[in-house]
Amino acid sequence: MWDSEIRAQFPAFTQTINGMPLVYLDSAATTQKPTVVIEAMADYYRFHNANVHRGSHSMTAEATAKFEQARQTVADFIGAPSKNTIIWTRGATESINLVAQSYARNALNTGDEILVCENEHHANIVPWQLVAEQTGAKVVKVPITAYGEFDFAQFTQLLSERCKLVAIAHMTNVTGARQPIEQVIAAAHQIGAKVLVDGAQGIVHEKVDVQALDADFYLFSGHKIYAPNGIGVLYGKADILAKMPPWHGGGKMVEKVSFSGTTFANPPARFEAGTPNVAGAIGLACAIDWYQQFDSEAVHHHLHQLQTATYQALQQMSDVQIIGYQPNATVLSFIMPGIHHQDIATLLNQQGIAVREGHHCAHPLMDALNIKGTVRISFGIYNTFDDVERLIAALNKAIDIL
């Protein structure tokens, strides 16, 4: 099935790179988009292009209906109790910043602590540093284990009544490690701290039920789940959202504006100032519907098989050192001591192989591992064992050149 039926749904794979068929192994950065998603967005712009929640003509009514149905699709997808707990953002980064500036900035005081692991993406570190400067709070680093994983034992020692918020990735972007989010949430709640889960990597690889998880906030980006760029989701518990002030001001997020004062709309409108990304929301809902047609266990099994085959092949190369290998993940990061990661990626690109190289927006993790960067291989639903074979052949050729 993966050789034809699924891959054929992605226009990106009709092209060649440097005269060779594209092998795309950078899905942890962004996934390619199936035709059905592209067409859903084009259909909106062709026939339903109007602003939402404004006016009374037919096109705006149709656009609003599609926009709010997309919100319901997301709510159902992650097990949210109501679509009103789903806030549209531009992506995971904006979702985190919204929580930092609307929730944390108003909840934190001098001496309070935010616990963040050193293996987090910059998007789940920098916003907390900014709000800590604004409030007098402190960002406390949770160290990693010798294997590059979240150190839960150290976390529990750092957890105290000073901690008001824990920010943790569902899965990490460098090694694909699945983090102990259930245990972290339970431990944090015992001392009254809130927990934000960055699901940017996890949402596409694991079924999420935010109510069962009991996360206070859960967020993700559309572009990592076969949906468009520029659309993201923030889920928040209804009682928390109700107490949060707006972050951005403008149209649509108000009940009444006057020069004597303004009253704000209830969530989620309170947090969605201005004209939203209607096409992006429609595209995200379409991508979710499309993705859910597949047997999730079969998809994950296939991706894990690709990772295992790649790992076994890389293990046979004496020049390759794998970083933080995680069985049953969809990501592999490696280095070649003495050779810059950019040189490796460039030689692979010359052979039509697209991989990510660099620090992966994870400077603290690179520092902890005492490396400058890695080459990262990440798989999507469209990848095949032929892709793995071409990768290994291209890497062997690159090693010979280097």
Query: Active-site residues: which are they?
Result: 361
- What is the C-alpha separation between 145 and 153, in angstroms, rounded? 10
Interacting residues of 370 by C-beta distance below 8 A, sequence separation 6+: none
Interacting residues of 39 by C-beta distance below 8 A, sequence separation 6+: none
Q: Are 332 and 303 in contact (CB under 8 A)?
A: no
Residue 335 phi, psi (nearest 5) = -130, 165
The 10 Å Cβ neighbour count of residue 288 is 21
- What is the C-alpha separation between 214 and 85, in angstroms, rounded? 13
Q: Are 37 and 337 in contact (CB under 8 A)?
A: no
